Amino acid sequence: MNCDGPFCLVYFTSTPRPDAAINHTWTPLKAAVHIVTHRRIPANSGDLSGKEAYHPHFLPSKNPVIFTHSAASSQQTPAVRDSWREIEDNTWIIGGKIKLVRGPAPLLDSSWIDDDGTYFTAFEADKEDIDAAIQHPAPKTPFKLVYDAWDAHAVWQVGNAFVKITIIAGPLITREYVTLAAVHAMLGLGFRLPNVIYHDEKGSRYFLIMSRVVGEISHKIWPSLSVDERASDMGGVDGGQIPKYYLVAKQESGSAANFDTQLQLETCKALGMDCPGFVFYYCDLGPGNILQDPADGSIGVIDWECVGFLPRAWILTEFRVSGGHDLEAPGDGYDQFDYRVRLIRKLLQMGFDHVVEQWLSLGKS
């Protein structure tokens, strides 16, 4: 499979669907990358001809449906951003679970190099280290926090890797390292994705260390791209659950989301989607997760936490209801919906169906 441009919508049709093991033979496995090739709608355009069919402004609600939630609201745990403790020079305890050391040489397979030639190594902390961390109540880390959401999801850049901590949405959720292993096993992807360096869990927290994918996120590079470049382009892979809040039945405030696959399937059927009729779908194709290497134009895709088999009609539906696919801000000659509008246009042209009105009527917003 190849990718002819920087922005690709990736989904895979597969029959049969893998069961529990990621090394299941997928036969046949058919991959398709569809390139977005339509020109953008100018910001503040007075010509609305044809826009009603796909522009977020013209959803039934007349405004983009921005779904928000607080994953931490039901967890009663400290924010993951406060997980770091420095117990001595170049030594940190992360989340009371992982010990991270920096030194002149690699120590284990879970080591990676920094640009200055030093190495980081991650491994499980022992009781003595954890006790030492308790004596340092104030969070302390020299590393850049690059993502922080809902007090339950944070990412730091550590040398040439990223350390990610997430409040686990449920015990049966497919872990991101499993998804990455399965996608790495696919041949001819046409884009880069991270390699897993280390992963672990403690209580409700999931720890993942993965290699850095070279490139600038689409939020940053969108203003500098030409029109053509902007236009270019049920269940987890192991049978586990997908943390897809949009498919969770409305719940009482403060209660934990139920990602039971059967319940999500019932929601999909209630929305009128074809079940079965599942495709392997990357559910978080927002501009913050698509990177382009300025050196050669190659593409990387990060954040594989929410990936799995879902009804085909959900793809277009999600792009129409999810504000997570918008640019961070409007720019010269384009609005913040530019990225999402292009994808919606192409999906409509390709004949994708959606169930936006049904989704709204079920009170998902």
pLDDT over threshold 50, residue 95: yes
3-state secondary structure of 179: helix
User: Which of 7-21, 28-42, 71-85, 205-219 bottoms out in mean pLDDT, i.e. has the lowest?
Assistant: 28-42
**Eight-class DSSP state of 257:** P
- Token look-up 């009804």 returns 311
CA–CA separation, 209 and 213 (whole Å): 12
pLDDT over threshold 80, residue 73: no
pLDDT of residue 75: 39
- Token look-up 């609201």 returns 73
CA angle 152, 159, 88 (to 5 degrees): 80
3-state secondary structure of 230: helix
Instruction: Give residue limits of the domains in the chain.
Output: 8-72+215-361, 75-211
3-state secondary structure of 212: coil
**Eight-class DSSP state of 245:** G
User: Which of 59-68, 177-186, 201-210, 231-240 bottoms out in mean pLDDT, i.e. has the lowest?
Assistant: 59-68
Residue 356's Cα: distance from chain center in Å? 22
CA–CA separation, 135 and 120 (whole Å): 23
CA–CA separation, 60 and 178 (whole Å): 38
pLDDT of residue 187: 62
* Sign of the dihedral through C-alpha 226, 320, 304, 117: positive
pLDDT of residue 283: 85
CA–CA separation, 176 and 31 (whole Å): 20
Short-list 93, 111, 86, CA closest to 209:
111
Indicate the Cα dihedral angle 126, 86, 134, 77, nearest 10°. -100
User: Which of 144-153, 164-173, 178-187, 229-238 bottoms out in mean pLDDT, i.e. has the lowest?
Assistant: 229-238
pLDDT of residue 199: 96
pLDDT over threshold 60, residue 68: no
pLDDT tens, 135-155?
887 777 889 898 888 778 899
pLDDT of residue 207: 96
pLDDT over threshold 50, residue 219: no
pLDDT over threshold 80, residue 161: yes
Residue 37's Cα: distance from chain center in Å? 23
What is the percentage of the chain residues whose pLDDT exceeds 90?
28
pLDDT of residue 4: 34
**Pairing assessment for the beta strands 119-124 and 111-113 based on DSSP bridges:** antiparallel
Task: Spell out the residues 6+ positions from residue 212 whose beta carbon is closer than 8 angstroms to its own.
Answer: 157, 160, 161, 162, 194
pLDDT of residue 87: 93
pLDDT of residue 12: 35
3-state secondary structure of 311: strand
Short-list 72, 213, 245, CA closest to 154:
72
| Amino acid present at 182 | A
**Mean of pLDDT values over 256-282:** 85
Better-scored residue on pLDDT, 215 or 42 = 215
**Mean of pLDDT values over 209-233:** 53
pLDDT tens, 338-359?
889 988 999 999 999 999 999 8
Better-scored residue on pLDDT, 278 or 93 = 93
- Ramachandran assignment for 97, one of left (phi > 0), alpha (psi -120 to 50 degrees), beta (any other): alpha
pLDDT of residue 126: 95
**Mean of pLDDT values over 178-205:** 86
pLDDT of residue 308: 84
Structure confidence at residue 20 as a pLDDT band (50, 70, 90)? very low
Better-scored residue on pLDDT, 51 or 161 = 161
Q: Where are the beta strands (DSSP E) in the chain?
A: 8-14, 29-35, 84-88, 91-94, 98-103, 111-113, 119-124, 144-149, 153-158, 161-167, 196-202, 205-211, 216-217, 278-282, 290-292, 299-301, 307-311
Q: What tokens appear for 258 in the block?
A: 């139920």
Better-scored residue on pLDDT, 17 or 349 = 349
